[in-house]
Structure 1
Amino acid sequence: MPQPAPASSPALNSFDEFTRLDEVILGRADHYDAHHTDTSWRLFFYDNVAPVLGRHTSPSGETSRSGEELLPIPAQLVDELNEDIAGLADALAGCGVKVLRPAAPGKDVDIRSPHWDARATPPLNVRDQTIILGNTIVETAPHVRARIFENDLLKPAFYRYYQDGANWMSMPRPALARDSLDTAYFTRQNMDVSRATDGESAGAIEGQGLEMIFDGAQCMRLGRDVLVNVANYNHELALRWLRDNIRGLRFHRLNAMADNHIDSVLVPLRPGLMLLRSPAYLKYLPEDMQSWDVIYAPDTDDRSFPDYSDLGFVIPIGSRYMDINLLSIDENTVVVNSLYPELIEVLERRGFTVVPVRHRHRRLFGGGFHCFTLDTVRRGGPEDYFN
């Protein structure tokens, strides 16, 4: 079983995904009652939402101030999500992990820039807007306009770490104006993105081209080495920024392993062992990692995903592989969705202690346990796991 956490609260230190976890920020879903389906949202989730874009109208008829649709999420599903998050908090505390939470938004919040407006997303998937690299907080440059101010609700925790000696940096804030987002990942595959881009209401900035846009969940940390998924020019700029501003780490470019996030594709479980969606993804990894032992994600029973047909129009924005998105407590203990028994069985056969926690609506809210958490204190350091 996991070791107990130390009595005193340690300083920020998180170099990897698998050494002993002592402290974590766990997201919250208060007021997550709608998706704002603007162009930035549609492009970000395009792989999953493209088949249904343009084929529906909002049951509530509600729109944002710009006239874009707010796709409502039934209150019952939000309540069930909150129940499952509470179960995750209890499981983490039971493993001796100190759990911090973002501040709670007090209401639905509409936000506006000079170029667009959006219904703000609450801080649920806290992995996305931040990377912890050793003792440095790196706030990233959001893809989705509705998430531009999300990290404000994490600042009480960030200031605590800063006051205790952590470094704190931010990528340049993107304007996310018209034409800021690169669609090259999709056009290279001959995919028509007009269903996402038609009806764009954002204003343009004269002379502004593609911006630095990037999420923390595009990275996997392995001590001295950080894997960085780069699928377009927005991400290319961010990789350059990381290399220019973070010293002492080696950043490895993964060439379009996915459109953006990779934590439902690849999970390093411990040095020399990883969980991978399928053998097709091996070729994207650094050569030093291709010789690691691999557990391939077993097929899942689609009946484990909720049927929303009786609740009106609900779009599953996340991948059906979302349950690969597990969280390691240490090199032998992992938190896995109890609704993925096929993976639990495989991991237990490999000697892992599995902490099962229910998570019903992972596809609707686009996040698993790795997405919901930001591990701020792990006991590992800048080890060289490639040699």
Structure 2
Amino acid sequence: MSSVRSFNDFGQLEEIVIGSAEHFHIPDADASLRHFFGLPEDHTGDQVTEADLARIIDETQEDLQALADTLTSFGVTVRRPAPAVHGSPLTVADWTTTANHSLMPRDCLLVVGENIIEAPMPVRARYTETFPFRGLLSEYFASGANWLAAPRPRLADATYAYEGDTPVLAEIEPLFDAANLLRAGSDLFFNVSNTGNRTGAAWLRRVLGSEFTVHEISICDDHVGTTLHILRPGVLLANAGRLTPETIPAPLRNWKIIWFDEPEDDGYGLTWPRASTWIGMNILSVNEETVIVPARQTELARQLEKEGFTAVPVPYRHGRTFGGGFHCCSLDVRRQGSLESYV
């Protein structure tokens, strides 16, 4: 049996990949980065000393190790990417940038059943982000997994369009970050946004075939992990600052919803934050009863405990600094359970 097999984000977790902040590099604010983060034209980049950046990276590595140790205590196999030095020049077609990090496998890789898919990411600095994970991908392929990659995008300037002041992706080629997807068995919810276009949804729909239904939704500007989570069949965790009962995806509206509206602000260590305070609800489920939450998010833990979940606090200091929480910085490659329809 393939060592890759996961249809949702809530089945009993057996194996997971956790990213690394080692050698994190701040790329230039090119057209794609400005588009993704909504940066103003006069943005000149981060002003941070080497010592401060080194401290932030070390603290993040400590927190990721704490996450790995916690998961190991639950019997989960934890895998890590190969060491990589980021920041070397990267030139494709008519643009040049520098590689960014290998911190967030959830963004660059999508697991659907026994398929592991390299996503066609729209930010140029993330063009080679799957490379530090290639050793694991080769291993998973040898075990029987289907290793797929979306068409490698050109990412021309025309990709980065605007509707008024709202950044949107042109429909020139398939584009999406894997973190745009909410997985619910045979139903996948694809967030059409600044990090995923309808052409990307169409490509994924055709590749996965008739076993899966890819629903197009639009519930936030980019990734869904700070807006909506499926905790178990019939139960959602929802961002009360962005969603209402009417904007929950239609197939899920009759589910029980835990509304969360009081995230703690962890602050950020660079000149500007890569994520809002809602990164505090970027949680990771071990199973249908156990959820790992950032240690400072005590109100979130309280709400989950009130609803019968076990909330496991783990420190994570730099979610806003790097723009990713526990869900972003991990990729579950094997969970118990088979292909089911939950909606």
**In 2: Cα distance, 1:58 partner to 1:110 partner:** 18
Q: 1:74–1:330: structure 2 CA closer, same or farther, 3 Å change rule?
A: same
Decide whether the 8 Å contact of 1:31 with 1:122 is kept in 2.
yes
**In 2: Cα distance, 1:192 partner to 1:233 partner:** 12
**In 1: Cα distance, 2:193 partner to 2:106 partner:** 19
Deviates more, 1:34-43 or 1:282-291: 282-291
CA-CA distance at 1:182 after TM superposition: 3.3
Which of 5, 10, 33 is the equivalent residue of 1:13? 5
**In 2: Cα distance, 1:127 partner to 1:29 partner:** 14
> Which residue number corresponds to residue 334 of structure 2?
377
CA-CA distance at 1:283 after TM superposition: 3.0
CA-CA distance at 1:243 after TM superposition: 1.3
Decide whether the 8 Å contact of 1:323 with 1:340 is kept in 2.
yes
Q: 1:75–1:33: structure 2 CA closer, same or farther, 3 Å change rule?
A: farther
Which of 200, 218, 223 is the equivalent residue of 2:180? 218
Which of 283, 294, 311 is the equivalent residue of 2:257? 294
CA-CA distance at 1:72 after TM superposition: 10
**In 1: Cα distance, 2:51 partner to 2:42 partner:** 16
Question: What does the per-residue CA deviation read over 1:218-251, in whole Å, with 9 as the maximum and x for residues that have no partner?
Answer: 0010111111111369610011111111121111
Decide whether the 8 Å contact of 1:210 with 1:234 is kept in 2.
no
**In 1: Cα distance, 2:230 partner to 2:73 partner:** 23
Which of 281, 288, 307 is the equivalent residue of 1:350? 307
> Which residue number corresponds to residue 324 of structure 1?
281
**In 1: Cα distance, 2:30 partner to 2:235 partner:** 39
SS at match of 1:76: helix
Q: 1:161–1:294: structure 2 CA closer, same or farther, 3 Å change rule?
A: same
Decide whether the 8 Å contact of 1:73 with 1:314 is kept in 2.
no
**In 2: Cα distance, 1:350 partner to 1:216 partner:** 29
CA-CA distance at 1:289 after TM superposition: 0.8
CA-CA distance at 1:60 after TM superposition: 7.3
> Which residue number corresponds to residue 321 of structure 2?
364
> Which residue number corresponds to residue 306 of structure 1?
267
Q: Cα RMSD over matched residues?
A: 2.5
> Which residue number corresponds to residue 171 of structure 1?
150
> Which residue number corresponds to residue 283 of structure 1?
246
The two structures have a TM-score, normalised by structure 1, of 0.82
> Which residue number corresponds to residue 141 of structure 2?
162
Decide whether the 8 Å contact of 1:326 with 1:334 is kept in 2.
yes
**In 2: Cα distance, 1:55 partner to 1:160 partner:** 42
**In 2: Cα distance, 1:76 partner to 1:172 partner:** 37
Decide whether the 8 Å contact of 1:19 with 1:380 is kept in 2.
yes
Which of 11, 15, 19 is the equivalent residue of 1:23? 15
CA-CA distance at 1:44 after TM superposition: 0.9
**1:110-149 equivalences in 2 (<5 Å):** 110-149=89-128
Question: What does the per-residue CA deviation read over 1:95-121, in whole Å, with 9 as the maximum and x for residues that have no partner?
Answer: 111001111104542212231111201
Which of 270, 295, 300 is the equivalent residue of 1:338? 295
Q: Which runs of 5+ in 2 are unaligned?
A: none
> Which residue number corresponds to residue 203 of structure 1?
none
Which of 35, 38, 43 is the equivalent residue of 1:43? 35
Structure 1 or 2, whichever has the larger Rg, is 1
**In 2: Cα distance, 1:73 partner to 1:316 partner:** 15
Decide whether the 8 Å contact of 2:295 with 2:314 is kept in 1.
yes
CA-CA distance at 1:277 after TM superposition: 0.0
Identity value in percent: 33
Decide whether the 8 Å contact of 1:219 with 1:226 is kept in 2.
yes
Q: 1:243–1:60: structure 2 CA closer, same or farther, 3 Å change rule?
A: closer
Which of 181, 199, 207 is the equivalent residue of 1:237? 199
CA-CA distance at 1:357 after TM superposition: 0.6
**In 1: Cα distance, 2:46 partner to 2:250 partner:** 48
**In 2: Cα distance, 1:352 partner to 1:213 partner:** 35
Question: What does the per-residue CA deviation read over 1:288-324, in whole Å, with 9 as the maximum and x for residues that have no partner?
Answer: 310100111131343xx2365xxxx611011210011
The two structures have a TM-score, normalised by structure 2, of 0.92
Q: 1:345–1:148: structure 2 CA closer, same or farther, 3 Å change rule?
A: same
**1:15-94 equivalences in 2 (<5 Å):** 15-46=7-38, 49-50=39-40, 54=42, 56=44, 59=47, 74-94=53-73
Decide whether the 8 Å contact of 2:32 with 2:160 is kept in 1.
yes
Give the aligned residue type for 1:150. E
Question: What does the per-residue CA deviation read over 1:32-87, in whole Å, with 9 as the maximum and x for residues that have no partner?
Answer: 142432111111122xx45xx625565479xxxxxxxxx99722111111111111
Deviates more, 1:106-115 or 1:217-226: 106-115
> How many equivalent pairs are there?
340
Question: What does the per-residue CA deviation read over 1:257-308, in whole Å, with 9 as the maximum and x for residues that have no partner?
Answer: 1122111100100000010001734434443310100111131343xx2365
Decide whether the 8 Å contact of 2:17 with 2:330 is kept in 1.
yes
SS at match of 1:92: helix
Q: Which runs of 5+ in 1 are unaligned?
A: 1-8, 62-70, 197-207
